[in-house]
Copies of this chain bind each other. A is one copy, B any other.
């Protein structure tokens, strides 16, 4: 049933900017979604292995969040309150403190930045500079931190950087991520640069790192490497910032992606699945001693998002009140790893990437990866690529995905890989 072909996409072509992107990979018009299924106007269902790029860790339209949000709206609950005190913000903060911070022995202030990830990142680097009086930020190869000028300077991708049109992306040093180069440890190199007073690298205000590089190819840093980066940061008077926007909030199996790594970051960014329901919502967690902002020194009209306070609170209460969800995610992660190993075995040279429910297969070429994803879509699976060369087929299923749908999606992926492998003698080059 050639749904996509009949979808009326004229209005988008006529009126939406050429910057639009995912719609090009999934050329149909979606109209509703529930759990791990999206439905288009022709009534066709698609299994969602993209999950809003990890913004829908709890699936689409979780019924409890829906209900709470509908109740809130129906009762004339605040929709937009700037950053005034609201009942809903209080409830969210109380839940965050009780269910997330306290059980983990964490003491952070929550900064309601603008409701996008890039805004949380911008706030983090501005604050790191204020706290340290230094300007240089260390970011990593293949990093993705956002598209506004401050975050874009941290981002590695040259295609994204060219979007700056030549605007200055200064005050950042890019260092090699773990194993960036053929499994060589990069900590030693980074340490050498930091400790050589003639390296040309100015003293850093902060290191900012994604524990798993979502856009950069599902590169997962090890506990030891992240501890090493934190140690170098401490030793050199720099702050240590975890950008947990894509890897956090359960995606790797724990609320924060590095909970089991024994780290103590100075700041942690939150966005994507932070609202629970995919609403725009972001925050920066700040160690109290670094919370030296003056009132409104970083502000924004949509700081906080009262609808998101409501759904985010429900998400915390529903999924993080005990360890059941976490265990379930870990169970599914094991399934995912096992199935991806089987699938990767179909492609000579293909390798597994990622961690937890944030895994994929490096198939060796962006062209092949693209063909696999297109084949999946034809067969009812929404899935995307990642990596510097788009060479990684990335599985970002909802953490709540039912086993049967998960299996069905992985079957579609396996079939697509098998089909494309046949026409692709050499997977990796």
A residues 70-88 with Cβ under 8 Å of B?
70, 73-88
Contact of A73 among B69, B94, B280 (CB under 8 A): B69
CB-based contact B12/A93 at 8 Å: yes
Known: A17-B110, A61-B79. 9 other contacts (CB 8 A): A18-B294, A29-B85, A38-B78, A70-B70, A70-B74, A126-B163, A172-B200, A196-B388, A198-B217
Segment 137-163 of A: residues with Cβ below 8 Å from B? 139-143, 146-151, 153-163
Q: How far is the CB of A84 from chain B (nearest CB, A)?
A: 5
Interface residues of A in 22-78 (CB under 8 A from B): 22-24, 26-34, 38, 41, 50, 52-53, 55-56, 60-61, 66, 69-70, 73-78
A193 with B141, Cβ < 8 A, contacts A60-B76, A157-B198, A168-B135 known: yes
- A239 nearest CB across to chain B (Å): 11
Q: Is the interface of A mostly helix, strand, loop or mixed?
A: loop
- Contact partner of A83 among B20, B141, B305, CB < 8 A? B20
Partner of A292, one of B16, B18, B52, B166: B18
- Taking the complex as formed, is A313 at the interface, i.e. its CB lies under 8 A from any CB of chain B? no
A284 at the interface (CB under 8 A from B): yes
Q: Which residue from B116, B200, B292, B307 sits with its C-beta under 8 Å from A114?
A: B116
Stretch at the interface among A296-304, A319-327, A355-363: A296-304
Residue A272 CB within 8 A of the other chain: yes
Q: Are A85 and B30 in contact (CB under 8 A)?
A: yes
How distant is A19 from chain B, measured CB to nearest CB, in Å? 4
- Interface flag for A111 (CB, 8 Å): yes
Q: Are A20 and B53 in contact (CB under 8 A)?
A: no
Q: Which listed residue, B24, B126, B302, touches A165 by the CB 8 Å rule?
A: B126
Residues of B within 8 A of A223 (CB): none
Q: Quick one: given A30-B84, A155-B200, A192-B180, are A280 and B296 in contact (CB under 8 Å)?
A: no
Minimum CB–CB distance from A260 to chain B (whole Å) comes to 24
> What B residues does A11 contact at CB under 8 A?
90, 93-94, 97
Assuming the A-B contacts A114-B118, A156-B199, A196-B142, are A301 and B52 also in contact, with contact meaning beta carbons closer than 8 angstroms in the complex?
Answer: yes
A122 at the interface (CB under 8 A from B): yes
Among B22, B114, B158, contact of A197 (Cβ-Cβ < 8 Å): B158
For residue A10, give the distance in angstroms from its CB to the closest CB of chain B.
9
Pick the residue among B24, B32, B78, B163 that contacts A78 (CB under 8 A): B32
Cβ of A104 < 8 Å from any Cβ of B?
no
